[in-house]
A and B are shown apart, each in its own frame.
Chain A
């Protein structure tokens, strides 16, 4: 089974490095971006099973990144990371289409579980789309 592909977006370099390493040790394939614009450019070029997105970033706020990711592809599975006492921002992100949110400092196991759930959803979507395509083709050919 393919390793889940994750894009980690956070402006804190040390946080990105250590979390990337921990996620990799758990079998995830991790790319990281230090800003919203970089993340958007990377998501254009590669299909990710999940995006882990910090909400408080310079240059482009996390909610704007979320909005733009989902505008390009509503199926993006985005898990947002909020600061302490900013749960309302996490709720807002979920209402905008994020699949879930976690408060920093976030524990690794719940985060990995959410990524694996996102990966399973992406696989199910892929299979559903494949089924539709096959059905279309067979119907057109009268099989």
Chain B
């Protein structure tokens, strides 16, 4: 996407980090999948241990078999869920601009970001309320803005912080709202409000930072707003 200014933080990040964004997400997903496979590997090994024990005359109880079957089922479900999210993420680059369900895209991305938040002891709370919210914009552009923002918020955040997100629909467009909350006074990263336009694909993404209210709004206007030189 061409930007209004290469000096603002958003354009600086976007120019250098599209590949990095994909790399970060896929590395995190592969780590999660490796955890699933590790558990399945050990659970399969436990079954082998019980079979070996049975050959030595030890009893295999139905409780043990049920427990093992339950573990395998749970991890398989977890693995399928992770792969579905990764697949959805991969397909967000199919078209430069398209109509998509913003709630689903956001939910998927937040699930992918969940591990980063968990590593910092920070909770991501979905206040979107469910339901389909259709927008026309750049799916990868929206994801990247949200990811960069979450990454910066997690960077300045502390264990116990809560980051909630919601979606507001209006006449002129749709807004994703992020709010910080905690008992203590949380800190937003030192970001400036900025706006990014892409004439080629006809999409605008505007980021509005309010340090006083501890909120960040990502505005997705219905109409493309031409960039100013």
Contacts and interface: CB of A to CB of B under 8 A. Distances in A.
A142 interface: no
Contacts of B43: 18
B42 A25 contact: no
Interface stretch (A69-77, A102-110, A127-135): A102-110
Interface residues of B, number: 23
Nearest to A82: B34
B84 to A, nearest CB: 20
Contacts of B210: none
A104 B121 contact: no
Contacts of A58: 118-121
B38 A15 contact: yes
Main secondary structure of the interface of B (DSSP, over half): helix
A18 B34 contact: no
B31 A105 contact: no
A22 B42 contact: yes
Given A19-B42, A22-B46, A25-B49, A14 B71 contact: yes
A18 B118 CA distance: 23
Contact of B39 (A15, A25, A56, A59): A15
B120 A22 contact: no
19 contacts: A12-B39, A14-B39, A15-B35, A18-B39, A18-B42, A18-B46, A18-B71, A19-B42, A22-B45, A25-B49, A57-B119, A58-B119, A59-B121, A83-B31, A83-B35, A84-B31, A85-B30, A105-B40, A105-B41
